[in-house]
Amino acid sequence: MISENLSKIKANLPSEVTLVAVSKTKPNEDILEAYKSGQRIFGENRVQELVDKYESLPKDIEWHMIGNLQTKKVKYIAPFVSLIHGVDTFKLLKEINKRAKSEGRIIDVLIQFHIAQEDSKSGFTFDEAKEMFEDREFVELENINVRGVMGMATFTDNKETVQDEFRTLNNYFEVFRSHYFKFNDSFSVISMGMSGDYEIAIGEGSNMVRIGSTIFGARNK
């Protein structure tokens, strides 16, 4: 089932869109099934679960941290994480830089923006991000590489709302790219879209989608 689900999704993804298979709460067997059909990028949202899976699964998997990340837990994933999607404070970014430095790495990150109408979702506002990008301390962070932006739309059946929010994120991406990342070609990622809204997200310029339940089935709570 999992490999069939994956091939159905991949058949409909434009070639420039990267698929992050969101495996949170799912057992290693499920991940291995996806792995055997060629999937190499997986996303998790809990640090302990991410570390356990990293330790027990093939080493050529790229692990993405997609969830809310507490500053004090960065050290556990700093040795191996490929991309951290949910950077929602300057403080967190500084901690990632510090831990990356002690690992002798440069860690790729995405800046999370608050685009939804729900307060439960975190992220920078446009102005907060602007302030950070202009901060001297930001410019001096040497062990992080900002690859782009990430956001989650409001959980609603109203397609126009979702579309507007994704369009807003794409606009932010373009503005920041042309102002602060003009000379960084790797600032290229727009991570938006989940099982319920990834087609809309792609229509609004997403080039990285994070899909869980459509691949692995509903999660047990």
- 53-72 positions binding ligand PLP, by CB under 6 A: 66-67
129 vs 208, beta carbon nearer ligand PLP: 208
Which of 155, 163, 167, 196 contacts ligand PLP by CB under 6 A? 196
Which of 5, 39, 45, 170 contacts ligand PLP by CB under 6 A? 45
108 vs 138, beta carbon nearer ligand PLP: 108
Size of the site for ligand PLP (CB under 6 A): 14
To the nearest whole angstrom, how small is the minimum distance from the Cβ of residue 150 to ligand PLP?
8
CA atoms in the 13 A half-sphere facing the CB of 213:
10
102 vs 217, beta carbon nearer ligand PLP: 217
To the nearest whole angstrom, how small is the minimum distance from the Cβ of residue 100 to ligand PLP?
21
* Per-residue CA distances from 131 to 43, 134, 173, 183 (Å): 29, 5, 15, 19
Instruction: Name the residue with the smallest CB distance to ligand PLP.
Output: 212
Which of 194, 200, 202, 208 contacts ligand PLP by CB under 6 A? 194
DSSP string, the chain: -HHHHHHHHHHHS-TTPEEEEE-TT--HHHHHHHHHTT--EEEES-HHHHHHHHHHS-TTPEEEE-S---GGGHHHHTTT-SEEEEE--HHHHHHHHHHHHHTT--EEEEEEE--SS-TTS--B-HHHHHHHHH-HHHHT--SEEEEEEEE---SSS-HHHHHHHHHHHHHHHHHHHHHH-TT-TT--EEE---TTTHHHHHHTT-SEEEE-HHHH-PPP-
To the nearest whole angstrom, how small is the minimum distance from the Cβ of residue 41 to ligand PLP?
13
Stretch that binds ligand PLP, among 88-96, 140-148, 160-168, 205-213 (CB under 6 A): 205-213
Is residue 211 near ligand PLP by the rule CB under 6 A?
yes
Which of 6, 22, 61, 116 contacts ligand PLP by CB under 6 A? 22
Q: Which two tokens stand for residue 31?
A: 């991940």
Is residue 210 near ligand PLP by the rule CB under 6 A?
yes
Site string for ligand PLP, 23-42 (x = CB under 6 A): -x------------------
To the nearest whole angstrom, how small is the minimum distance from the Cβ of residue 88 to ligand PLP?
11
Alpha-carbon gap, residue 174 to 165, rounded angstroms:
14
